[in-house]
Structure 1
Amino acid sequence: MSYAGRLTLVNSVLNTLHNYWGSIFLIPKSIIKRIEAVYRNFFWDRGTEYNRAPLVAWHTICTSKKEEGLGVRNAELGNAASVGKLVNWIYTKADRIWVLWVDHVYLKGQDWNSYEPPPDSNWNWRNICKTRKLMAMGYVGDQWTLYVKGYTVKAGYQLLQGQHPPVQWYKEVWDSWFLPKHSIIGWLIKHEALNLRDKLHRLNICESNMCVICEKETETHQHLFTRCEYSRSVVLLLDTWLSSALNGNAQGLSNLMNICRMIQVTVWYTLWMERNKCRLYLAIRRPEILVKEIKSFICMRVKMMMQVQWPVSNEHSFWLRLSDTV
């Protein structure tokens, strides 16, 4: 299973298993760390135990894609945001038996903003009061005013996580036109996190730091994907193909920028796969064969994303003609 497939399972399955208990009380930090360890180990190594070093720090992965992460929910912050819903019920005096019970047993008419729990009170109640302090900046009086009208777990999570400046390369890697597994490799390239020979040599894992493909320069991210003779040959052939098809006229092609970015991400992924095959089998395909494979994929993907219908528009007609040149 690719990184993209494992990321989907982490977000849709693993990240929801503790949601029930996490919406009732703050889970102890030791349990939270164990939960996140399962997420991390499964994402990087398909298992629940630690077998290899992560390529990117987990706190980075838990930021949004625009902020250089993968959008995985931080378990501790997500837990606090879920408990924040209970805090909001008390603020709004929701029509719930639990709220009436809390007011009768603990608050007894006291102001919720200034309330301090007694030392001998219930552990769960003290944690709810602790969460109230974390959420305090989102309230004006008794009203939640941050991000949306009315409290939601998503808004509480955004408050706790804070905002970080977006990265400039976000659109180069993430787009609905790209295959997820291509985007993940592009994301790793932008972080310079792939296990290339320059890194492995520094860690004394491999003897040589020279490029697996050309064996002329040190194998770095910049070399493999931009400076290597093999990579440049692939890019040049694709550039010639697209330029000759456009013939200096790109008017009317509204999706051209998306397609150019998709070609770039696809080239990165294909070169990475070809590099690994070269290392394993000590052989590499000619650039022309690799380019033909990329062109075929691009044309197929474009047809699918543009949902070509009849009668064919000028833009659809262009990409249909382009596929005939593969």
Structure 2
Amino acid sequence: MCPFEHLEIVLGSSFFQLRETTTSSWLWRKLLRLRSVDLGLDLLCPTISIIDIWDAIRFRKERVLWHKLIWHAFHIPKHSIVVWMAILNRLPTRDRLSSFGMQVEIGCVLCGRKQETRDHIFFDCVFSRKV
């Protein structure tokens, strides 16, 4: 499905007059259904932006103290995401996968000596210490 299939329909039309079709993607249907949600915005205003809508629908939490350590001007996205997930203990380590009911060996893939946990991989593993 072409990501721009709705472009010709949208151009020159009001967002509130557009309808779902049988070929509408799930994302397009979700966007159209947002019209009925009260976002506290004047959606008829011609200067409303996508950023305004995003700010209205997203759930915001206070920034954590460490956010500038990983999300800065020169960050490498892959590294920042891994660090962020490690700080939140959300990496798919074998102990976490096992806790979700997956049938996996819980031993460390690097050294095989202890259970693979976030702390073991980054601080205790003999292999990672050498690296």
Could you tell me the TM-score, scaled by structure 1's length? 0.29
Matched, 1:212 2:115: no
**TM-score normalized with structure 2 length:** 0.60
Could you say what secondary structure the match of 1:138 adopts? coil
Displacement of 1:19 in angstroms is 6.9
Unaligned stretches of 5+ in structure 1?
1-13, 37-74, 84-126, 145-149, 234-286, 291-326
Deviation of the 1:223 alpha carbon: 1.5
1:170 paired residue among 59, 67, 71: 67
User: Equivalent residue for 1:123?
Assistant: none
Task: From the CA coordinates, give the structure whose radius of gyration is larger.
Answer: 1
Cα distance, 1:201–1:154 mapped onto 2, change above 3 Å: closer
Partner of 1:152: 49
Letter in 2 for 1:180: P
Higher helix share: 1
User: Alignment partner of 1:172: what SS?
Assistant: helix
Report Cα offsets for 1:237-260 as digits up to 9, x if no partner.
xxxxxxxxxxxxxxxxxxxxxxxx
The one of 96, 114, 138 equivalent to 2:41 is 138
Q: Number of residues paired by the alignment?
A: 118
- Counterpart-to-counterpart distance in 1, 2:55 and 2:120: 38
Taking only the aligned residue pairs, the percentage that are identical comes to 21
What residue is the counterpart of 1:187 in the other structure? 84
| Structure 2 segments unaligned to the other structure (5+ residues) | none
The 3-state SS of whatever aligns with 2:81 is: helix
Q: How far 1:204 sits from its partner (Å)?
A: 4.0
Aligned pairs for 1:1-326 within 5 A: 17=4, 20=7, 24=15, 25=18, 27=20, 34-35=26-27, 76=30, 79=31, 130=36, 134-135=38-39, 137-138=40-41, 150-202=47-99, 203-206=101-104, 208-231=105-128, 233=129, 287=130, 290=131
Measured after TM superposition, the shift of residue 198 of structure 1 is 1.2
